Amino acid sequence: MSKLVPPHGGKGLVCCLLHGSELESEVEKAASLKKVSISGRENGDLIMMGIGGFSPLNGFMNRADWKSVCENMQVSDGTFWPVPVTLSCTKDDADSITTGDEIALENADGKVMATMKVTEKYEMTEADKRWECEKIFLGLGEDSVGGKFWEVAMDDHPGVQMVMGQKAFNLAGPVKVLSEGDFPEKFPGVYMTPKQARAKFDEKGWSKVAALQLRNPMHRSHEYLAKIAIEVCDGVFIHSLVGSLKPGDIPADVRVKCIDTLIEHYFCKDNVVQGGYPLDMRYAGPREGLLHATFRQNYGVNRMLIGRDHAGVGDFYGMFEAQDIFNTIPKPEGAGKALLCQPLNIDWTFYCYKCDGMASLRTCNHGKDDRVILSGTKLRKALSEGAEVPDHFGRDEVLTLLRAYYEGLTEKVEVKMQKAASGDEIK
């Protein structure tokens, strides 16, 4: 009997991925259906619905669910859900589709990823998109307050750019997923379905599992967070995004090698599982922190590590806004409707010379000059510019891998330094 937290939604793992003869039949049918192109984000969302990562969702949201999620962080039946999961299409596509039609969803590589029965189509005006952005991406940081959000968001916020660039209509309906893409082949042993992760945790006898979300290579703060989680839980799930990132971020295969190296040299391996999941980043800060906790519950995780500026970008979010939002979310009644994966909140962490080790604002009473302020952005900026990386920022074995990656780049992307990563906010 599993001791893990149950999947979100009270329906077990809702997996829309087909197998065997059912898959063969649907692939054959899809060849004759109207094709609708999907974005990278929608491709990742489809795979998550396929493998049960987005349980209890079984398709793209209708207008009522979209509106309720933006406003109340709940789908229309009351189940907690923090960000919209929608599918956009052109007006021409929408005009050619009738409610009740079945369509095939084709990704940028020309691969049909799923079929969908269209239950609703609804227009998304510019005003609708702006409203969604303000509900999902507007935070308490310097780039959000005082009416500044729209002055900078279209240039500096990739999540806002993504939503505002969506097509004119949304299509809603249940999906039948035909493929996991190339993730199983590209990241063997790392890419995992919720069922696979749960089996691994059950095999280890774990009941309390913490997840560490990663989109940057692991530096000393990440290592410290993971080890704190191991101390208070049965084990830690180092769970990396292996979907698409913004320009300048380090690709998944490099990050996976860095994590492998850290686990090999600096962790008790029995207490760590490395995994990968197929989503694109939304860069939605606090709302995305909630999404990370929601789908991690489906993976069997009951504690989500939330540190400084979780899933943030630029200076759109307050330092610990992603922690505070967990105190304000709805707690719906009814089996499985509430979020059960809770935050494991950690203060700002750094290396302190006087403490002679990793510390946080809760444990260290020394000054800024005694501290090495750590962040993925600072690390990427230093490496991309060929600058010296301060002592105690990262493990030498990891820095060797990262320097080799940057030396092999033929085109460099400027890495902007935001206040959240600079350490300027530390008194």
DSSP labels, 47-87:
HHHHHTTTTT--EE--HHHHHHHHHHSB-TTS-B--S---E
Q: Round to whole Å and give the CA distance between 315 and 110.
A: 37
Q: CATH assignment of 187-427, given 3.90.1150.10, 3.40.640.10, 3.30.465.10, 3.40.50.620?
A: 3.40.50.620
Q: What is the pLDDT of residue 64?
A: 98
Q: Round to whole Å and give the CA distance between 299 and 296.
A: 5
Task: Give the DSSP letter of residue 191.
Answer: B
The residues of the chain scoring below 50 in pLDDT are none
Q: What is the CATH number of domain 20-124+166-177?
A: 3.10.400.10
Residue with tokens 């509106």: 67
Q: Which residues contact 72 (CB under 8 A, 6 or more apart)?
A: 330
Cα radius of gyration rounded to whole Å, the chain: 21
Q: Which residues contact 156 (CB under 8 A, 6 or more apart)?
A: 143, 313, 314, 416
Q: Which two tokens stand for residue 374?
A: 């750590």
Confirm whether 215 is a catalytic residue: yes
Q: Round to whole Å and give the CA distance between 292 and 58.
A: 18
φ/ψ of residue 233, rounded to 5: -125, 180
Q: What is the pLDDT of residue 374?
A: 79
**Region of residue 87 (left: phi > 0; alpha: psi -120 to 50; beta: else):** beta
Are 94 and 171 in contact by the 8 Å Cβ rule? The answer is yes
Question: Of 43, 216, 271, 298, which one is the catalytic site residue?
Answer: 216
Q: What is the pLDDT of residue 424?
A: 58
Q: What is the pLDDT of residue 108?
A: 95
Question: Of 198, 215, 220, 282, which one is the catalytic site residue?
Answer: 215
Burial grade of 331 (CB within 10 A; 0-12, 13-18, 19 or more): exposed
Q: What is the pLDDT of residue 409?
A: 83
Task: Give the DSSP letter of residue 251.
Answer: P
Confirm whether 130 is a catalytic residue: no
Q: Which two tokens stand for residue 239?
A: 């769970």
Q: pTM higher than 0.85, yes or no?
A: yes
Q: Where do the domains of the chain lie?
A: 20-124+166-177, 187-427
Q: What is the pLDDT of residue 285?
A: 96
Q: Round to whole Å and give the CA distance between 241 and 308.
A: 18
